[in-house]
Amino acid sequence: MTKKKARKPIPGTTIFDGRMAMKGYALNKMCYSFNEAANREAFRKDEDAYCDKYGITDEQRAAVKKRDVLKLLSLGGNIYYLAKLTGIFGLNMQDIGAQQSGVTLEEFKAKLLAAGEK
Amino acid sequence: MARLIGGIGSSHIPAIGNAIEKNAQSEPYWKPFFDGYKPVWKWLEKKKPDVAILVYNDHGLNFFLDKMPTFAMGAAPEYQNADEGWGLKPIDPIPGHPKMSWHLIDALVEDEFDLTICQEMLVDHGFTVPVSLMWPEPELRKHIKVIPLCVNVVQSPFPTARRCLKLGKAIGRAVASYEENLDVVILGTGGLSHQLDGARAGFINRDFDLEFLDKLKDEPEWLLQYSNYELAELTGTQGVEMIMWLIMRGALGKNVTEISRNYHIPISNTAAGVILFEKDA
């Protein structure tokens, strides 16, 4: 068995494990429902009513309102399901990459390009 | 008897699907990436494999956290793609080979790999992007039948790299015992280094990826020195997907020739890799 307690934390990283998967189950389930266009539309029309339907906690709901991906991750969100939520707001993986790492989209793209120029 | 003729490792980033859809392959951003596939297209055109076993992970289209199989194999006559929620246009259904799927399932479970068996499964970009990449025109795709093997690299714990390599070896044996005279190619997809989530989003590790590509042909066991936790640290939380390349490599056995490879940073948030091995006759 891997001794989890002995693990050195990885900076800026949370492993999506059983603990997080339990914490974020309802949130991720709501996001999974956004595979259906009709559900995305229902969410757009009334975010609160849609969150109610899935039993989203107040803290998670506030983070959904702020489109705060880091916060949603800390509350158990998984990035693949969250991408379906942020897609509704017109934010793609690079937009949320920039948001999470605290830089502009241009800076985020420049950082990736620089990684290829080593 | 069926025979494995080769294996391909390839990234499966959704943006590639968009680029193919928009016919953007020769744009400056995309050209260095797509040029890396030219030897693969040539090889596939020449060899015309009958069946492809496609190792990938689902990102929340078919599988949710309610039921998350570690390894799931398709046994369906065809596989449909669908809306993933953020705008990638679904591709036409891909034909499967249920008879061969059941042979593989029988052989692998007998070999102590307890797969989840799927007679219906939606396939997401992890599957469709490699299909579109390998056979860019629907015309080229007509003859090929694809068998999906889905691996959990979404909800930790994931299978270990060691388990993946062993599963690959078992797939190699299972293909070789299939009675029909078919040429089979195996695709290991995902990776290479990238991290989509957290304050470290955008993390890439070029040195690690290059060493992985260097070792893959003759010393795939090199990757086994790392736990999945260590791989997340070294290659990013989604870089761990490279363990699926070990399934491909394991299936091919000892004697292989590397025909081509390409490595390009970045595609979207990812270091993209492609490698083609031919199994020696």
Q: What pTM, to 2 d.p., does this model score?
A: 0.97
The stretch A41-67 carries a mean pLDDT of 97
Rg (CA), chain A: 16
State the total domains in chain B: 1
B79 has a pLDDT exceeding 80: yes
Of A16, A35, A112, the CB nearest to B155: A16
Look at A13 and B83 and tell me if their CB atoms are within 8 Å: no
Written as six digits, the tokens of B54 are 């496609």
Strand partners, B118: B74
Nearest to A87 among B87, B264, B269 (CB): B87
The predicted-structure confidence for B113-131, as pLDDT tens digits, reads as follows 999 999 999 999 999 999 9
Record: contact B200-A12, CB cut-off 8 A: yes
pLDDT at residue A78, rounded to an integer: 98
pLDDT band with cut points at 50, 70 and 90 for residue B142: confident
Mean pLDDT on B173-180: 98
- The first and second tokens of residue B150, run together, are 């889905």
pLDDT in tens, B43-68: 999 999 999 999 999 999 999 999 99
**Is B264 an annotated catalytic residue?**
no
Domain spanning A16-89, CATH class:
mainly alpha
The answer on pLDDT for B270 being more than 70 is: yes
Mean pLDDT, to the nearest integer, of B203-223?
98
Chain A's closest residue to B82, CA to CA, is: A35
Question: From the candidates B12, B103, B194, B264, which is the catalytic residue?
Answer: B194
pLDDT band at B281 (very low <50, low <70, confident <90, very high): confident
Question: Is the model's pLDDT at B87 over the cut of 90?
Answer: no
pLDDT of B82: 96
Please name the amino acid found at residue B129: V
What is residue B145's DSSP assignment?
E
pLDDT above 60: residue B243: yes
Residue of B nearest to A111 (CA): B202
Task: Say which of B155, B232, B269 has its CB closest to residue A13.
Answer: B232
CATH code of residue B189: 3.40.830.10
Q: What pLDDT is attached to residue B138?
A: 85
pLDDT band at B272 (very low <50, low <70, confident <90, very high): very high
**CB atoms A84 and B86 under 8 Å:** yes
Residue A2 has pLDDT above 70, yes or no: no
Regarding an ipTM greater than 0.90, the answer is yes
Q: Note whether B243 and B195 are within 8 A (CB).
A: no
CB contact under 8 A, B200 and A13: yes
Query: Could you tell me the pLDDT band of residue A118, with boundaries at 50, 70 and 90?
Result: low
Annotated active-site residue B59? The verdict is no
Judged against a pLDDT cut of 70, whether residue B154 lies above it is answered with: yes
Look at A13 and B154 and tell me if their CB atoms are within 8 Å.
Answer: no
Single-letter amino acid code for the residue at A57 = T
Model confidence at A4: pLDDT above 60: no
Name the band, by pLDDT with cuts 50, 70 and 90, for residue A1: low
A74/chain B closest Cα distance in angstroms: 9
Q: Per the CB < 8 Å rule, is A87 touching B86?
A: yes
Query: Residue B257: what pLDDT?
Result: 98
Q: Are B11 and B189 in contact (CB under 8 A)?
A: yes
Nearest CA in chain A to B154: A16
Residue B6: its H or E element: strand B3-10
Fill in the DSSP letter of residue B241.
G
Pick from B154, B229, B268: which is nearest to A94 by CB? B268
Kind and range of the H or E run holding B259: strand B256-267
CB contact under 8 A, B156 and A16: yes
**Nearest by CB to B196, which of A93, A102, A113?**
A93
For B104-252, strand residue ranges (E) read 116-118, 145-151, 183-189
Interface probe with B: pick from A108, A112, A113, A118, most Cβ of B within 10 Å: A112
Structure tokens at B236: 């990013």
Share of chain A above pLDDT 70, in %: 94
Chain B positions with Cβ closer than 8 Å to A: 14, 59-61, 64-66, 82-87, 154-157, 195-204, 206, 227, 229, 232-233, 237, 264-266, 268-269, 271
Position with higher pLDDT, A6 vs A117: A117
Q: Residue B86 sits in which domain range? A: 3-279
Distance separating alpha carbons of residues A93 and B205, to the nearest angstrom: 19
Contact A35, A83 (CB under 8 A): no
Angle between helix A37-45 and helix A47-54 axes, rounded to 10 deg: 120
Chain B residue with minimum CA distance to A2: B227
Catalytic residue among B12, B97, B103, B125: B125
**Nearest chain B Cα distance for residue A18, angstroms:** 7
* Band (A6; pLDDT cuts 50, 70, 90): low
Of B84-93, B95-104, B148-157, the least confident: B84-93
- Please report which helix (H) or strand (E) contains residue B195, including its range: none
Query: Which of chain B's residues have a Cβ under 8 Å away from the Cβ of A11?
Result: 199-200
